[in-house]
Amino acid sequence: MNQVLDFSMLLPLGSYFLVAALIVRTAPRALRNPAFAFCNASALLYFFDWGTWSGGLALYCAWTLGHYFFVRFMYRHRLLYLAAMLFPLLVLVWSKVGAGWTQEFLVQAGANREDLATWSMVGLSFMAFRLSILPVELRARNLPPPDPATYLSFAFFLPTLLVGPISAYPRFVQSMDDSHGHWPEAIPALCQLLVGAVKYLVLATVCDQLSFSGYFWDHNQHGLPELLVSGVGFYLYVYFSFSGFCEFCIGAARLIGIEIDDNFRNPLASRNLQVFWGTWHITLGRYVGSMVFTPLTKWLVRRWGTDHLHAATVSSILLSFLVIGVWHGQSWNFLLFGAMHGLGVIVVYSWSLLLKRWLGLSGYRRYLNNRSIALCAWLLTFLYISLSVILFANEPAQLELLWRQFRGV
């Protein structure tokens, strides 16, 4: 992730932010959305390497315009609504598991294999999530489909393209309207940019030196204490790197005039995994909750009955975290990482229900306010997450090496 920033791009990026802010805040409303869409599409072309395959950009545009067609007519028929919701996710799944087959097909059709190897779908994961939940947000608020310019502005908005946050469309549009004709106080946004830069460039770099790549896999013999140190180092590295980049993006968007959702709220202080996932990568958790957990729980309750609400809830929790694991990567270690967090959240959820039943609401509040219990809970949560990221940070071959090294300990 630390390779995302390139200081040679500071001047072009500054030019983009200035032009985008001028468009959002001063352009006539009739011209604002087309101009902003053109600005973001131009930035997309300029800042990212599209490879040498001539069909790559055309394919990228085709899937975006195809999705807009479904969104534009989503109120005409339920199937079009479902297509608007599922089409971006199907493209995302194809990019992860079916791109190799497609590449072989294109090679057989005459495309150059070297050209195909250089091409990628820029920002596809987070863009697919933002676009797939767009019809859900529109229907929930009874909003009309966006016009083409507004849709492209939202889809290609540069600050949220690479690593999120998975910002909500209604807030995007509302902040554009609120910012028109107004200039913000730049100091808060610049402070957020500075905080993000310090996290991303300084703190993440320091923590990376204690993670697996910077410490554990240095060709020296290490034991279990060093493994735990590297787990803690990697956990902190991911937090400072990811949250720092998100802070930078949020601050940059605020300078332009677009308010986007926070992605982190001090997750390092979480007393349990349920609290952690409410404060870590917040927009991803909200997305999975809306698209997987809630509809699956409702379906299971209808199928099993309200007497089995707990079973429906824990089943939905586990599947939701398996989805999160697979989204991060397709090898078994990511699936196991998702299962580890899903089971952890299930234990926390079930334990909370038992405590409320045993202690009553007043006793449960005293339990939550007990500082000694809170400290122990925080420490257990911090260590559990630090151990779980061992699965996240290492390739399957490295994990097999660790298993052979420590299974006799």
Q: Which two tokens stand for residue 302?
A: 């209808």
Q: Are 173 and 21 in contact (CB under 8 A)?
A: no
146 cis-preceded (ω within 30 degrees of 0): no
Q: Are 342 and 318 in contact (CB under 8 A)?
A: yes
Percentage of the chain exceeding pLDDT 90: 56
pLDDT tens profile 284-330: 999 999 999 999 999 999 999 999 999 999 999 999 999 999 888 88
Residue 46: its pLDDT value, please? 82
Q: Which two tokens stand for residue 283?
A: 């927009």
pLDDT tens profile 82-100: 999 999 998 888 777 765 6
Residue 102: its pLDDT value, please? 60
- Considering just the CA atoms, what is the radius of gyration of the chain in Å? 23
Whether pLDDT at 400 is above 50: yes
Q: Is 370 helix (H, G, I), strand (E, B) or coil?
A: coil
Percentage of the chain exceeding pLDDT 70: 88
Q: Which two tokens stand for residue 19?
A: 């032009």
Which residues, other chains included, contact 177 with Cβ-Cβ below 8 Å and sequence gap of 6+?
Answer: none
Residue 44: its pLDDT value, please? 83
pTM given for the model: 0.87
Helix axes 294-304, 309-328, angle to 10 degrees: 150
Domain spans of the chain, in order of start? 7-177, 184-264, 269-409
Whether pLDDT at 409 is above 60: no
Contacts 24+ apart (CB under 8 A), 270-275: 270/378, 270/381, 271/374, 271/377, 271/378, 271/381, 272/348, 272/377, 272/381, 273/341, 273/344, 273/345, 273/348, 273/381, 273/384, 273/385, 274/345, 274/348, 274/349, 274/352, 275/381
Residue 288: its pLDDT value, please? 94
Whether pLDDT at 388 is above 90: yes
Q: Which of 112-116, 185-189, 387-391, 395-399 has the highest mean pLDDT?
A: 387-391
Q: Which of 30, 27, 31, 33 has its CA nearest to residue 180?
A: 27
Residue 51: pLDDT band with limits 50, 70, 90: low
Whether pLDDT at 188 is above 50: yes
